Amino acid sequence: MAGLVRVFAPQCEILFKGAWNLASSVSRHQLRANSTASRHYRFFQKHFAVKNSVTSLGGCRAASSSSNFRGGEESEKRSTSQTESGSSGPTSNGQSADMPPVSTNDGISAAQVFNLVVEKSICAVFGPNDLQQSKVLPIIESLTDKDNIGVATVTDAAQTKRILEVTGRNSLPLFFVKGDCVGNFEDLYALKENGRLTSWLESHKYDLIVIGGGSGGLAAAKEAARLGKKVACLDYVKPSPQGSTWGLGGTCVNVGCIPKKLMHQAALLGESIKDAKRFGWDIPEGQVTHNWNRMRDGIQDYIASLNWGYRVQLREKTVTYLNSYGTFTGPHEISAKNKRGKIEKITADRFLVATGLRPRYPPAEGAKEYCITSDDLFSLPYNPGKTLCIGASYVSLECAGFLHGIGLDVTVMVRSILLRGFDQDIAGRIHKHMIAKGIKFESGVPIKFEQLEVPTNSKPGRVKVTSVNVLENGDKEEFVEEYNTVLIAVGRDAATDDCGFDVADVKTSKSGKVIGRHEQSETNPYVYAIGDVLDGCPELTPVAIQAGRVLMRRLYTGNMEMTEYDKIPTTVFTPLEYGCCGLSEEDALKQYGKENINIYHNVFVPLEYSVPERMDTEHCYCKLICLKTDDDRVLGYHILSPNSGEITQGFAIALKLGGKKADFDRLIGIHPTVAENFTTLTILKTDDAGELKASGC
Ligand SMILES: Cc1cc2nc3c(=O)[nH]c(=O)nc-3n(C[C@H](O)[C@H](O)[C@H](O)COP(=O)(O)OP(=O)(O)OC[C@H]3O[C@@H](n4cnc5c(N)ncnc54)[C@H](O)[C@@H]3O)c2cc1C
Ligand SMILES: NC(=O)c1ccc[n+]([C@@H]2O[C@H](COP(=O)([O-])OP(=O)(O)OC[C@H]3O[C@@H](n4cnc5c(N)ncnc54)[C@H](OP(=O)(O)O)[C@@H]3O)[C@@H](O)[C@H]2O)c1
Q: Which residue has the higher pLDDT, 151 or 83?
A: 151
Ligand 2 midpoint to CA 399 (Å):
12
Measured by CA distance, the residue closest to atom 2 of ligand 2 is 572
CA angle 331, 332, 337 (to 5 degrees): 100
pLDDT band at 597 (very low <50, low <70, confident <90, very high): very high
Burial grade of 68 (CB within 10 A; 0-12, 13-18, 19 or more): middle
Residue 12 predicted with pLDDT over 70 = no
Q: Which residue has the higher pLDDT, 376 or 147?
A: 376
Residue of the CA atom closest to atom 37 of ligand 1: 355
Mean pLDDT along residues 654-682: 97
Strand, coil or helix: 573 = coil
Does residue 115's CB lie within 6 angstroms of at least one atom of ligand 2?
Answer: no
Q: Ligand 1 center to residue 357 CA distance, Å?
A: 6
Ligand of minimum distance to the alpha carbon of 334: 1
How many Å lie between the centroid of ligand 1 and the Cα of residue 162? 32
* Residue 451 β-bridge partners: 463
**498 CA closest ligand 1 atom index:** 41
540 lines ligand 1 (CB under 6 A): yes
Task: Select which of 290, 404, 638, 671 is catalytic.
Answer: 671
Strand partners, 448: 365, 466
168 C-alpha to ligand 1 centroid (Å)? 26
Q: Which of 415, 443, 573 has most ligand 2 atoms within 8 Å of CB, for mutation?
A: 415
Taking only the tens place, the pLDDT of each residue in 305-331 is 999 999 999 999 999 999 999 999 999
Residue nearest to atom 31 of ligand 1 (CA): 214
| DSSP code, position 121 | S
What does the alpha-carbon distance between residue 138 and residue 461 come to, in Å, rounded to a whole number? 72
Average pLDDT over residues 232-260: 98
Q: Given the CA of residue 530, which atom of ligand 1 is nearest to it?
A: 26
- Nearest CA among 428, 566, 558, 413 for reference residue 481: 413
Per residue in 28-63, pLDDT (tens digit) is 333 333 333 334 434 434 443 323 322 222 222 323
Highest averaged pLDDT of the listed ranges 4-13, 122-131, 472-481: 472-481
- SS3 letters across 411-459: EEEECCCCCCCCCHHHHHHHHHHHHHHCCEEEECEEEEEEEEECCCCCC
CA-CA distance, 659 to 682, in Å (whole number)?
A: 17
Which range is least confidently modeled, 135-139, 347-351, 435-439? Answer: 135-139
Q: How far is the CA of 236 from the centre of ligand 2 (A)?
A: 24
Q: Is the CB of 235 under 6 A from ligand 1?
A: yes
Query: Band of the pLDDT at 143, cuts 50, 70, 90?
Result: confident
One-letter identity of residue 243:
G
Residue with CA closest to ligand 2 atom 20: 491
Average of per-residue pLDDT across 100-127 = 77
Question: Does residue 19 surpass a pLDDT of 50?
Answer: no
How far is the C-alpha of 43 from the C-alpha of 33, rounded, in Å? 12
* Cβ 395 under 6 angstroms from ligand 1: yes
**From the alpha carbon of 212, which atom of ligand 1 is closest?**
34
Is the model more confident about 341 or about 78? 341
Which of 541, 578, 648 maximizes ligand 1 atoms within 8 Å of its Cβ, making it the mutation to test the pocket?
A: 541
In the chain, % of residues over pLDDT 70: 84
Residue nearest to atom 2 of ligand 1 (CA): 256
Burial label for 243, CB within 10 Å (0-12, 13-18, 19+), is exposed
What is the 572 CA–ligand 1 centroid distance (Å)? 17
Which burial class, exposed, middle or buried, applies to 57 when counting CB atoms under 10 A from its CB (0-12, 13-18, 19+)?
Answer: buried
- Over residues 405-418, mean pLDDT: 98
User: Is the CB of residue 416 below 6 angstroms from any atom belonging to ligand 2?
Assistant: yes
- What is the per-residue pLDDT for 696? 55
Helix (H) or strand (E) holding 125: strand 122-126
Q: Find out whether the beta carbon of 421 lies less than 6 Å from any atom of ligand 2.
A: no
- Tell me how far apart the alpha carbons of residues 321 and 218 are, in angstroms, rounded to a whole number: 10
Average pLDDT, the chain: 86
Pick from 246, 218, 249: nearest CA to 232? 218
In short, whether 392's Cβ falls inside 6 Å of ligand 2 is yes
Mutate to test the pocket of ligand 1, among 246, 325, 355 (most ligand atoms within 8 A of CB): 355
pLDDT at 91 over 80: no
Expressed in angstroms and rounded, the spacing between residue 496 Cα and the centre of ligand 1 is: 14
Pocket probe mutation, ligand 1, options 252, 258, 539, 546, max atoms within 8 Å of Cβ: 252
- Nearest to 356, CA basis, from 332, 375, 338, 339: 375
Contact 446, 467 (CB under 8 A): yes
Q: Which atom of ligand 2 is nearest to the CA of 417?
A: 39
Query: Is pLDDT of 235 > 90?
Result: yes
Residue type, 379: S
- Residue 356 beta carbon below 6 angstroms from any ligand 1 atom: yes
CA distances from 553 to 224, 556, 560, 670 (A): 8, 5, 8, 38
Q: Residue 71 has what pLDDT? A: 31
Does ligand 1 lie within 6 Å of residue 260's CB atom? yes
Chain segment 502-525, per-residue pLDDT in tens: 999 999 999 999 999 999 999 999
Mean per-residue pLDDT, 362-383: 98
Q: How far is the C-alpha of 281 from the C-alpha of 278, rounded, in Å?
A: 7
Query: Of 271, 313, 352, which is closest to residue 524 (Cα–Cα)?
Result: 352
Instruction: Give the number of the atom of ligand 1 that is nearest the alpha carbon of residue 336.
Output: 42
> Which of 107-116, 120-129, 577-586 is modeled with the greatest confidence?
577-586
- Ligand 1 center to residue 578 CA distance, Å? 21
- State the distance from the centre of ligand 2 to the C-alpha of 393, rounded, in angstroms: 4
Contact by Cβ (8 Å): 381, 370: no
**Local confidence band at 253 (pLDDT 50, 70, 90 cut-offs):** very high
* Backbone phi and psi for residue 327, each to the nearest 5 degrees, phi listed first: -135, 135
Q: What pLDDT score was predicted for residue 515?
A: 97
Distance CA 46, CA 44 (A): 5
Per-residue pLDDT, 621: 97
User: Does the C-beta of 395 come closer than 6 Å to ligand 2?
Assistant: yes
Residue 415 CB–ligand 2 contact under 6 Å: yes
Asked whether 371 lines ligand 2 (CB < 6 A), one says no
- Sign of the torsion angle spanned by Cα atoms 359, 364, 367, 368: positive
- pLDDT at residue 98, as a whole number: 41
- How many whole angstroms from its chain centre is CA 690? 41
Is 29 designated active site?
no
C-beta of 468 in contact with ligand 2 (< 6 A): no
3-state secondary structure 210-242: EECCCHHHHHHHHHHHHCCCCEEEECCCCCCCC
- DSSP per-residue string spanning 515-526: PEETTEESS-TT
Q: Whose CA is closest to atom 35 on ligand 1?
A: 212
Residue 110, SS3 per DSSP:
helix
Q: What's the rounded mean pLDDT across residues 662-688?
A: 96
- Say what the alpha-carbon torsion angle 215, 221, 225, 231 is, to the nearest 10 degrees: -160
Contact 149, 124 (CB under 8 A): yes
Q: How confident is the model at residue 297 (pLDDT cuts 50, 70, 90)?
A: very high
Residue 254 C-alpha to ligand 1 middle, in angstroms?
9
In this prediction, residue 456 carries a pLDDT of 96
Average pLDDT of the residues in 140-151: 88
